[in-house]
Structure 1
Amino acid sequence: MAVFVVEWTYAVDRAGREAVNAEHKAHLKDLAERGILLAGGPLPQDNTGLLVYRVEDRAALAELFVDDPYVQAGYVKQSLIREWQVNFGTLAGA
């Protein structure tokens, strides 16, 4: 399994995302309960969000994005995806 850090830059501000925010949060909660999403949330200083996933590979990660309500609504204008080798802390060995 690999850990990926994903930074999403949004095409609309927080108020503009409100229409599907509950569905987006429910989707992320489901992924967290299944051990796929390790951490996630907005970066308050920017119009961005940071998500940390544990998945088999980059292709599996891409499949998760298709089901996210923010992606489906066109709210994500850019995704910066990096594989992360976690050596220390509570996510080490994830």
Structure 2
Amino acid sequence: MALFALQLKFTDPARRLEVMPTHREYLAELYAAGKLHAAGPFADASGALLIYDVADEAEVREIIANDPYTAADVYEVVTLQEWDKRFPPA
């Protein structure tokens, strides 16, 4: 498995709030399936950071494509990179 960090910048705050309940349900499903390591918005609500635990980049891109936030077009991707978690050690 590989960890991928996704940093988002929100572009439509009002629409994001409308879609948020569905987005959170989707994240809960991913977490229960072991595909989401952590997620949350930045304190200033300008964007968010999500850490996925997936097989490869193709899987994370599919997960992102199926996110309700993607369909609602409420963000821009700032970065999507594989992350090498060092601490705490596994």
Is TM > 0.5 for Structure 1 vs Structure 2? yes
Alignment RMSD: 1.3
Could you give the per-residue CA deviations for residues 41-87 of structure 1, whole angstroms, max 9, x where no partner exists?
00012511000001011111000011111000011222411111112
Could you give the per-residue CA deviations for residues 12-32 of structure 1, whole angstroms, max 9, x where no partner exists?
12x431111100000000000
In the other structure, the counterpart of 2:79 is 80
- More displaced 10-residue stretch of structure 1: 77-86 or 22-31: 77-86
In the other structure, the counterpart of 2:10 is 10
Instruction: Provide the rounded CA distance (Å) in 2 between the counterparts of 1:41 and 1:87.
Output: 20
In the other structure, the counterpart of 1:31 is 30
Instruction: Provide the rounded CA distance (Å) in 2 between the counterparts of 1:79 and 1:63.
Output: 17
SS in 2 for 1:44: coil
Amino acid across the alignment from 1:11: T
Instruction: Provide the rounded CA distance (Å) in 2 between the counterparts of 1:11 and 1:87.
Output: 32
Instruction: Provide the rounded CA distance (Å) in 1 between the counterparts of 2:5 and 2:76.
Output: 17
Amino acid across the alignment from 2:9: T
Instruction: Provide the rounded CA distance (Å) in 2 between the counterparts of 1:46 and 1:27.
Output: 19
In the other structure, the counterpart of 2:53 is 54
**2:74 matched to 1:70?**
no
- Report the number of matched residues: 90
Amino acid across the alignment from 1:33: A
Unpaired segments ≥5 residues, structure 2? none
Instruction: Provide the rounded CA distance (Å) in 2 between the counterparts of 1:31 and 1:79.
Output: 21
